[in-house]
A = this chain, B = another copy of it.
């Protein structure tokens, strides 16, 4: 964690939760907010740390993750620019971060003061509803993640993940994976070796092409049917 600066008003406007604030309110919140830079690989906070700040990623990329006793890492979410995180800690009885956070790429964040935000929320019912919406959406994502971990095997999870990325971008065919394969494996709760083998199989099946971090979906229908259990005959 490096340089520390003052964020500007423009930065706030990116933050959906606070984009509707009045001028005076915005000024107050910004006053206690700070811009913070984190080097690649460096932690922003650890699980169990007091959650004094709520974060907005301005650029770079971070991961939220848990660690097992044996050092295995499970990625809970990848954070890309424009994404805020840790809002849920505002309302926990003990305000502690429930996960670790570290930068995957050199990153720049805005850290809002937690008490400050709660005050603003008290004065802005609309912002409360915004936040309720955000948390609800995240909850839904988590349920999907649980289903995926519990009900789908490694190949299905990979196929599902690719389909979702494909659809999310709207501009089909070719796209770049949002992170290294190692991190994507961590997100899908599989080993990098398994991801590698899965992608090789999908390629062999003609569902997609791959060039380093670039994926080209050749046959979305086939990918979809694989994602729903039409597992190609094991060699």
Report which A residues bind B (CB closer than 8 A). Answer: 66-70, 72, 74, 76, 88-92, 98-99, 121-122, 125, 128-129, 131-133, 135-140, 142-143, 145-147, 149-152, 189, 228-229
Contacts and interface: CB of A to CB of B under 8 A. Distances in A.
A142 B136 CA distance: 12
Nearest to A130: B91
A88 B149 contact: no
A229 B140 contact: no
B76 A143 contact: yes
B68 A136 contact: no
Given A125-B122, A189-B150, A90 B132 contact: yes
B91 A136 contact: yes
Nearest to A128: B128
Contact of A66 (B89, B125, B137, B143): B143
Contacts of A229: 69-70
Contacts of A135: 88, 91, 132, 135-136, 139
A74 B146 contact: yes
